């Protein structure tokens, strides 16, 4: 089993969900008392949010890059950033490490494709909805992204939305990026 490096704390509530989902998925697949090999680095979200609000994405990216480097040095085989919005700075993070990052938009697009949908709505933070970094990555996979109406399915593009909105609350398919990303991290960890 590979070791998952989780960059969390944005928010800690969604980081708890990642940890829970990953470990439940490992136990379901491997049985017994198995749990995930993972390292969690939880940042102080107050600092990250100040960078976001001030448009200081490079500073945020360099901070997360340092965190990813620490996880790599600690033995992580790959990295996941436990939030949608901070994938905005993935290029800065990738510069600091040699191990791969499992991108949340790529894993979400893969799940949408499995559902045979071509048009989805996107709900998330204002940064995720208004900036192009997330939407364009999904659209590069051949999926039209709407913000926020007229869709066949909806991406829950903020890691906390899935804590509030469940599939039974919607008539169209919901794609909870936290669950999708966490399960895909398990897939990557169990690859041989």
pLDDT single digits (tens) 95-107: 999 999 999 999 9
Q: Which tokens sit at 8?
A: 């969390």
Q: Are 98 and 78 in contact (CB under 8 A)?
A: no
User: Angle at the Cα of 18 (from 116 to 57), degrees rounded to 5?
Assistant: 90
pLDDT at 158 over 90: no
Strand partners, 153: 120
What tokens were used for 1? 């089993």
Query: Domains of the chain, with CATH numbers?
Result: 4-103+179-190 (3.40.50.1860), 104-176 (3.40.50.1860)
Q: Which of 80, 34, 38, 89 is nearest to 61 (CA)?
A: 89
pLDDT tens digits, one per residue of 14-61: 999 999 999 999 999 999 999 999 999 999 999 999 999 999 999 999
What is the pairing mode between strands 153-157 and 119-124? Answer: parallel
- Given the structure tokens 């890059």, which residue do they identify? 65
User: Catalytic positions, please?
Assistant: 83, 158
Total-model pTM: 0.88
Contact between 88 and 157 (Cβ < 8 Å): no
pLDDT band per the 50, 70, 90 thresholds, residue 149:
low
Determine the pLDDT at residue 133. 92
Q: What is the pLDDT of residue 168?
A: 87
Residues 6+ apart with CB under 8 A from 152: 117, 118, 119, 120, 172, 173
Better pLDDT: 25 or 126:
25
Helix (H, G, I), strand (E, B) or coil at 44: coil
Q: Which pLDDT belongs to residue 172?
A: 86
Q: Report the C-alpha gap between 17 and 164 in whole angstroms.
A: 12
Quickly list H helices, 101-167.
104-114, 126-130, 132-139, 161-164
Cα–Cα distance measured from residue 100 to residue 157, given in angstroms and rounded to the nearest whole number: 22
Which DSSP category does 72 fall into? H
Q: What is the pLDDT of residue 77?
A: 98
Instruction: Assess contact for 92 and 61: CB atoms under 8 A.
Output: yes
């Amino acid at each position: 089993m590979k070791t998952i490096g989780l960059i969390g704390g944005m928010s800690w509530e969604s980081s708890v969900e990642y940890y829970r989902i990953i470990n439940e998925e490992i136990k379901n697949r491997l049985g017994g008392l198995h749990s995930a090999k993972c390292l969690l680095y939880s940042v102080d979200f107050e600092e990250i949010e100040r960078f976001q609000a001030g448009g200081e994405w490079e500073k945020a990216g360099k901070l997360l890059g340092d965190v990813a480097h620490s996880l790599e040095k600690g033995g992580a085989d790959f990295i996941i950033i436990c939030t949608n919005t901070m994938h905005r700075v993935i290029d800065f993070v990738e510069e600091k490490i040699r191990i791969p990052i499992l991108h949340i938009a790529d894993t979400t697009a893969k799940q949408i494709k499995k559902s045979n949908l071509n048009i989805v709505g996107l709900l998330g933070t204002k940064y995720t909805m208004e900036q192009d970094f997330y939407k364009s990555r999904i659209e590069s996979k051949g999926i039209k992204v709407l913000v926020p109406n007229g869709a066949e399915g909806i991406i829950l593009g903020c890691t906390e939305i899935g804590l509030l909105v469940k599939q039974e609350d919607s008539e169209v398919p919901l794609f909870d990026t936290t669950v999708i990303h966490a399960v895909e991290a398990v897939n990557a960890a169990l690859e041989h």
